[in-house]
Structure 1
Amino acid sequence: MTEVLTGPQMSLVEMFLVAATVALVLARWLPAAARRPAGLGAATGAVVSGAVLVATGPRWHLAPVALVAVLGLVRELVAELRRRGERHGVRHGAPRDRGHGEPPAHRHDAPPARRHHAPPDRRAPRWLALPATAACLALVATGPAAAWALPVPQFPAPTGRHPVGTAVVQWTDPERAEGATADPADRRTVVAQLWCPARGGSERGERARYLGRTRAEARTVARALADYAGVPAFALDGLPDARTHAAPDAPVADGGRFPLVLFSPGLGGVRGQNTAWAEELASHGYVVAALDHPHDSAAVVLADGRTVRTRVAATGDPEVDERRAAGWTAVRAADLGFALTRLTGPGEGAGPLAGRLDADRVAVAGHSLGGAAALQAARQDHRFAAVVNLDGSPHGPGARPYPQPVLALTQEIGPATDPDYLPRLTRALDLGTATGYRLTVPGAAHLTFTDAPLYLPPLPSLTGSRARAEGPRLTAAATLAFLGPALRGDAADAADALSAHGELTVHRPTAR
């Protein structure tokens, strides 16, 4: 996977506006001869670039830049009006010849000749101008800084040989009631996004939008994610403008049957939260199906247009929260099993993938609470042949062996890590009757294993200390290194490949 841009994440027009605004601020410090042309040139540049941005849709990041630009334009306008007024006053206040052709200087009653001085300097005193200039420059700098800290995500290009296609499907389970509503007639519904190897040429067409089929859906989901995280909605307003590398509804690549990976997002997460990871897997010949869990995911837009918001929340009481987490995990595990039935069973549930999936080569994966759901789904449904747990702590019933190999990726363990996390995860891995792997990734935080580093501020406590695209890149590389032997029977040693990415612990099967 290629690295994303790490620059200011701004368009040429936005950078031109910033440059013109800086020139406006600094023009008052130029020599008198250069002050006016420089100020007028910078003002013209600011007006033109600002008009283009207004027409194409400005971003909130540039609000402080626009404020300083307006102040600079007002200053230049006042200065220009003053200059013109002074020239007008000098011209109309000059002595006129009231004699009979004799210059006023030669008449006895002529007033003394006026001396024409340069217009007085009306600039603010230096002691006031210096702090004002510094404050304006600092305010302008917040624009590029905000655009860099909260950019429109740029997704790493998949490295596999296949172009990637994507589609969204919705299924209702007639056998399960929706436990989150009061109406017993409500049936459990899930929404899945599919990423699959696509036919050649698909990469040259339209690219799918991030977080939604339409901009309206993506905006709804982005605002719900911001609300769930407790941050202002404008902080994530760049997400609806992001484009991925997958082609919407592209035809599936020719060939045989593809291995399948089902994915469950984190608590409050959404189906698209690991898009970079899913696209990379699909480019290497896997089909990925990521689920939205209604009433759990931050927002799920259903086919009939209804939006289902999350109802999950922590209470702060460890025992109560653990019981709730176990209940949410059980629902998600059932969702994963139901999705597998729809994708690999008879009928039209797989849509364009009908007959193209290998039901004997299926992995279940998840992040955070989704990782716990993946472990539980594998324990109760042996149709899953492998498990990938991205920094998820197990919940629900324990002490039950399961036969699938497991890969568990964990964040860097520190003083702030839940002290029960590793012991609980270790006990789960020790229950496996196949080899399991726990890979602790240096510099990783909980969100490192998602798309979040591509669009959130690079704070170590939030997204880890690795480069922006490094988290998705490493997560996909480790997953491929594990799934090759687990699903495809590759001869390569997974342990050798995994150990290159962090501290690896191998859990050998226990005799039972």
Structure 2
Amino acid sequence: MCRRVPRAEYGRVTETIVGLHMSLLETLVLLGAVALVVARWFPSAARPRVTIAAGAVFVLSAIVLSVVGIRWQLLPVLAGSAVALPFALSPLLRRRTGWPTWRARWWLALPGSVACVGLIATGPVAAWAFPVPVFPEPSGRFAVGTRVVQWTDPRRPETFTADPHDRRTVVVQLWYPAQKSPTGAQRAEYLGRTEHEAQTVSDALARAVGLPGFLLDGIPRAHTHAVFNAPVAGRGGRFPVVLFSPGSGGVRTQNTAWAEELASQGYLVAALNHPYDSAAVVLTDGRTIHTKSASTGNRDKDNKLAADWTAVRAADLGFVLTQLNRLGRGEIASPLTGRLDTGRVAATGHSMGGAAALQAARQDHRIDAVIDLDGYPHGRASPSLHQPTLALTQAITPATDPQYIPRLTKALELNTATGYRLTIPGAAHLTFMDGPLYLPPVPSIVGSLGRTQSTRVVAATTLAFLDTTLRHKPGDLPSTLSTYGDLSVYHPSDSR
């Protein structure tokens, strides 16, 4: 049966963006450019000094930026400066050479100045819309380490290739509680082990959504809070395991902010790349596997394909859990040997990854809990789930697939354990990943919760669920969840 829980005041926060999402050098270029334009309007005594100082700051900063790399967001700033520079320097040069100086009347100069300032202003606006993502500081007591492993399942053929000898290979990134690293330790790249891998994945993600790669050039520049191969924390006992499958075309790092928060709280997060489904998977031998999954435009065919891909992903999750079991026992050499608690496991995923988590839980009773982050339940609805399940969904609108909530509700109603469906007002589909940190803050794309509030809400709700189901911490879980949105609780029927 289902019980509706009244929504409490969840305090929708209007986020204030502090700063321009620009580096110090970029900010200096911006300020120098603006000063070059407005210098014309300073008193005549101050005008030469302002022009020389602004020009020096602008030119020197631009030279340094040209060496370290200029983002596309700075191009309108440079263009506006290029237009203004001759008009700013011409009176100075004429004065030095003794030529008569000439200044346009204010009503002629004003439109040009306004046009230049407007062009320059598009730079910080573009930097705000497409920033280098800044990841929220994990709030737990542990520092965070990360490492990447690649495993091949000798018993499963690769169904996406024609080679009968090809076996299914997955790339997995682990986030875990770590010892505190020395000050200045290099933080992990966001999208890959190396800068080259990060750029490769960024380009593939841009192509997957039909965007030119340069629009997302801030993503491969980002660094997270985790440190690659950091020593495992010496305290904290054994870590419960959280498996994660990304959305269709998504990559293992797409929920890094969430994974780092869980790891800082004492969990081991294992996020998968699904070759031929993820936008790009870079293997240890240097090969890059691009996605082969694509919509046909036919609903029935696409539903069948989605069910097939979901089944492959579910099998990937089960295989990774087997490998983590072996790693925990020492059959696979790792600093994490002896530190994993594979008797406490949650399967989680976003979008199609959420559907995969549901299917993996149906098939694998080693899984103790399930989290579906706005995932349509593709594939079979049987057998029934037997694990506590949390489904987070975006705000339901007339544009929402009319079959989504009924299918999700059916899965939760047939569960022999308690299920929760939490609909978060202001959330969109990409709210449940890192997208709000680097995509334009358009509500229909990333929701209206704000860049950092989105990650906080997803982390807070899922942590409360994991702490209750895997760690059996006391507390009123429905009350906690209902503070973030509209909660429905599905209790197992007495007749089952």
Is the structural similarity TM-score above 0.5? yes
Q: Distance in 2 between matches of 1:421 and 1:347?
A: 42
Superposed displacement of residue 12, structure 1: 2.3
The worse-fitting range, judged by mean Cα deviation, of 63-72 and 344-353 is: 344-353
Q: Distance in 1 between matches of 2:182 and 2:376?
A: 38
User: What residue is the counterpart of 1:487 in the other structure?
Assistant: 470
Say if 2:23 is the partner of 1:11.
Answer: yes
% identical aligned pairs: 60
User: What residue is the counterpart of 1:333 in the other structure?
Assistant: 314
Q: Distance in 2 between matches of 1:443 and 1:76?
A: 47
Of 307, 313, 317 in structure 1, the residue corresponding to residue 288 of structure 2 is 307
Of 121, 126, 131 in structure 1, the residue corresponding to residue 111 of structure 2 is 131
Of 189, 193, 207 in structure 2, the residue corresponding to residue 213 of structure 1 is 193
Superposed displacement of residue 237, structure 1: 1.1
Q: Residues 23 and 202 of structure 1: is their aligned pair in 2 closer, same or farther, counting only changes over 3 Å?
A: closer
Superposed displacement of residue 496, structure 1: 1.5
Which of these two proteins has the greater Rg computed from alpha carbons? 1
Superposed displacement of residue 195, structure 1: 0.5
User: What residue is the counterpart of 2:300 in the other structure?
Assistant: 319
Of 183, 188, 191 in structure 1, the residue corresponding to residue 168 of structure 2 is 188
One-letter amino acid matched to 2:274: H
User: What residue is the counterpart of 1:38 in the other structure?
Assistant: 50
Q: Distance in 2 between matches of 1:283 and 1:202?
A: 17
Q: Residues 226 and 350 of structure 1: is their aligned pair in 2 closer, same or farther, counting only changes over 3 Å?
A: farther
User: What residue is the counterpart of 2:414 in the other structure?
Assistant: 431
One-letter amino acid matched to 1:386: A
The worse-fitting range, judged by mean Cα deviation, of 230-239 and 452-461 is: 230-239
- The two structures have a TM-score, normalised by structure 1, of 0.90
User: What residue is the counterpart of 2:248 in the other structure?
Assistant: 267
| Contact 1:4 1:155 (8 Å CA) reproduced | no
- Secondary structure of 1:300's counterpart equals strand
Superposed displacement of residue 312, structure 1: 1.0
Say if 2:459 is the partner of 1:476.
Answer: yes
Q: Distance in 2 between matches of 1:289 and 1:185?
A: 27
Once the two structures are superposed, residues 25-58 of structure 1 have per-residue CA deviations (whole angstroms, 9 ceiling, x without a partner) of: 1222334444333323322221122122223322
Once the two structures are superposed, residues 271-296 of structure 1 have per-residue CA deviations (whole angstroms, 9 ceiling, x without a partner) of: 00000100111111110000000000
| Contact 1:4 1:154 (8 Å CA) reproduced | no
User: What residue is the counterpart of 1:178 in the other structure?
Assistant: 158
Superposed displacement of residue 127, structure 1: 4.6
User: What residue is the counterpart of 2:12 in the other structure?
Assistant: none
**Aligned ranges for residues 66-215 of structure 1 at < 5 Å?**
66-85=78-97, 87=98, 119=100, 122-201=102-181, 205-215=185-195
Q: Distance in 1 between matches of 2:202 and 2:331?
A: 31
- Secondary structure of 1:276's counterpart equals helix
Superposed displacement of residue 460, structure 1: 0.2
Once the two structures are superposed, residues 101-130 of structure 1 have per-residue CA deviations (whole angstroms, 9 ceiling, x without a partner) of: xxxxxxxxxxxxxxxxxx46x334545432
Superposed displacement of residue 428, structure 1: 0.9
- Secondary structure of 1:272's counterpart equals coil
| Contact 1:211 1:272 (8 Å CA) reproduced | yes
Structure 1 unaligned spans of 5+: 89-118
Superposed displacement of residue 134, structure 1: 1.5
Superposed displacement of residue 202, structure 1: 6.2
Superposed displacement of residue 369, structure 1: 0.2
User: What residue is the counterpart of 1:251 in the other structure?
Assistant: 231
Superposed displacement of residue 339, structure 1: 0.3
| Larger RCO (CA under 8 A, 6+ residues apart) | 2
| Contact 1:4 1:469 (8 Å CA) reproduced | no
Q: Distance in 1 between matches of 2:145 and 2:315?
A: 27
Q: Distance in 1 between matches of 2:446 and 2:191?
A: 19
Q: Distance in 2 between matches of 1:126 and 1:80?
A: 18
One-letter amino acid matched to 1:286: Y
Once the two structures are superposed, residues 217-268 of structure 1 have per-residue CA deviations (whole angstroms, 9 ceiling, x without a partner) of: 1111111111111111011111122111111111222243211000000000
| Contact 2:330 2:338 (8 Å CA) reproduced | no
Superposed displacement of residue 199, structure 1: 2.2
Q: Distance in 1 between matches of 2:312 and 2:332?
A: 20
**Aligned ranges for residues 329-478 of structure 1 at < 5 Å?**
329-345=310-326, 348-349=331-332, 351-478=334-461
The worse-fitting range, judged by mean Cα deviation, of 367-376 and 390-399 is: 390-399
- Secondary structure of 1:481's counterpart equals helix
One-letter amino acid matched to 2:215: A
| Contact 2:37 2:88 (8 Å CA) reproduced | no
Superposed displacement of residue 349, structure 1: 3.9
Superposed displacement of residue 350, structure 1: 6.8
Once the two structures are superposed, residues 163-187 of structure 1 have per-residue CA deviations (whole angstroms, 9 ceiling, x without a partner) of: 1110000000000111111111110
One-letter amino acid matched to 1:21: A
Q: Residues 207 and 481 of structure 1: is their aligned pair in 2 closer, same or farther, counting only changes over 3 Å?
A: same
Q: Distance in 1 between matches of 2:151 and 2:181?
A: 30
Q: Residues 162 and 204 of structure 1: is their aligned pair in 2 closer, same or farther, counting only changes over 3 Å?
A: farther
| Contact 1:453 1:471 (8 Å CA) reproduced | yes
- What RMSD, in angstroms, separates the aligned Cα atoms of the two structures? 1.8
- Secondary structure of 1:404's counterpart equals coil
Q: Residues 6 and 432 of structure 1: is their aligned pair in 2 closer, same or farther, counting only changes over 3 Å?
A: farther
Q: Distance in 1 between matches of 2:160 and 2:333?
A: 26
One-letter amino acid matched to 2:160: A
- The two structures have a TM-score, normalised by structure 2, of 0.93
